[in-house]
Chains A and B, each alone.
Chain A
């Protein structure tokens, strides 16, 4: 058994749809609005030397050649693992697939696509497989046409993905994509975004249009397709026709009649049906998605694909390495910046403390305390300098004396100290004493007024004591 370890998408790819004596080639390149297609050949009998040269040049510049294994050469099964874990489910998918295949899994190339958890806590995936001998035969077929495909896709998956991209399907609506190839007929059924099943027969448009065998081929197709459709429960599905046979409306009409398809059955033909498969293959090769697959694996893997995958791994490892180193650098730088900031602040603290304390050394952690103590000790030495420049008590004495004079008060004694004022005298009225009291209170003192009754001089005797 060979399973892919990685799927690589290239920047441009050439999709090949080959059927003995018939070929279509489409080039796809990544564009802003999706893939940009160039039809290099459509329904030609063989690839011209000019086209081969052009393809060689494209290959040399990195364009991949992509082919597909026909549906009848491959197997497609939907698997469901009874675990909620995708990783665990991936480990059991080979066993689940093995029991559904009519030959040993070890002889196959397999891929498990779009593995995802379902609402009922299971994991569902689309398994595709091809016998390695069928892969080898397909490679010989391509080689005979001078093509060495870097990637071998699953035809059914490619048809379904391209069909739903070009003509989107309504949610949960069913569709049958029927590819009328020159030498084969492939049909794919699904609903919404989900591909359910694919099958095919080894005869196609060439057989249907053969006057001798056409009717028999159509009967065979109906005999194979009708029960298959019933099994898929998609009888009322929309039909999407494509492939070189779909370019001939009379053939499509014949098949509809052979299948007894009611007139009202919704049906359409894809644009440029002859190059549809080549377009589908090229488009899938330039964009990786959950349904991407390559069945050219193991010792059959194309060296360019192997190199690209290895380069992708190296790039991934390099990016992870760079990210890890960036994380290391950020962490180291972060701590370094913090330490540097702390050390700078510590240096500033030391410098300030030494300057304020007037000491050569200040114990670490004691800087503020040491500086505070030093300033506290020196404060009395500076206080007289501050007092010398500050207003003295006399500035309070002046207004006091002015008020007393204005109110015709007589002051017999005035004493001013930094924390106390005492003023003794006489006034003609009680209210005058209160003026002095209010004045002192306004200047920030707490005055207390002692009043005595008027004496023989008929004046009010008072004493005002104020403290801070």
Chain B
């Protein structure tokens, strides 16, 4: 090999070796930081996927209610039809707007001197509606001297959809 060519090869080799050393050093220094960032991002993805699953559960619950119908039936009418002759008082305690036109309504219902077996059937029917009226609280007080009868007060929770919403 001629000296000039040999010199050129040596320079090229030295450059390549230096580049290899530099990139190795750079990689060795940079890689741990990148790997740590990757681990953090993986943890973030896992947490976000967990949140997404929870959100999907919310959406599924809402979709199930939406699929059931436009909203719980009118409670006063339903109660009077189910318990003819019983003094029924229905009073709205609270109503709150939710999303996509849906709202939740809480109604206080008082049934005076009702036959408890009939009341049981009424309550069962209340919850089997689609969407149902959900009994949030209930208080049953037996009538003195009248076996099987009593007074029932309950708090019913139901979902309603504003008219005109899909």
Contact = CB atoms under 8 A, between A and B. Distances in A.
**Do A and B interact?**
yes
Interface stretch (B46-54, B74-82, B84-92): B46-54
A352 B47 CA distance: 10
Interface in B7-30: 9-10, 12-13, 16-17, 19-20, 23-24, 26-27, 30
A386 interface: yes
A334 B38 CA distance: 14
A352 B138 contact: no
A273 B55 CA distance: 94
A42 interface: no
B38 A413 contact: no
Give chain B's interface residue range (CB within 8 Å of chain A): 35 or more
A386 B13 contact: no
Contacts of A394: 123-124, 127, 135, 138
Nearest to A397: B138
Nearest to A329: B23
A393 B141 contact: no
A418 B82 CA distance: 25
A415 B140 CA distance: 6
Interface in A395-415: 397, 410-415
Contact of A342 (B19, B37, B132): B37
B46 to A, nearest CB: 10
B118 interface: no
B20 A327 contact: yes
A384 B41 contact: no
A324 B55 contact: no
Contacts of A389: 61, 64-65
A92 interface: no
A375 B58 CA distance: 10
Interface residues of A, number: 55
Nearest to A346: B41
Contacts of A349: 41, 44-45, 48
Interface string B51-73: 11011011001101100000000
Contacts of B127: 392, 394
A411 B148 CA distance: 10
Given A320-B13, A386-B61, A387-B134, A368 B48 contact: yes
Nearest to B126: A394
Interface in A160-200: none
B34 interface: yes
A342 B135 contact: no
A271 interface: no
A388 to B, nearest CB: 5
A50 to B, nearest CB: 38
A416 B138 contact: yes
B142 interface: yes
A348 B140 CA distance: 54
A385 B100 CA distance: 12
Interface of B: 1, 6, 9-10, 12-13, 16-17, 19-20, 23-24, 26-27, 30-31, 34-35, 37-38, 41-42, 44-45, 47-49, 51-52, 54-55, 57-58, 61-62, 64-65, 98-99, 102, 104, 123-124, 127, 131-132, 134-142, 157-159
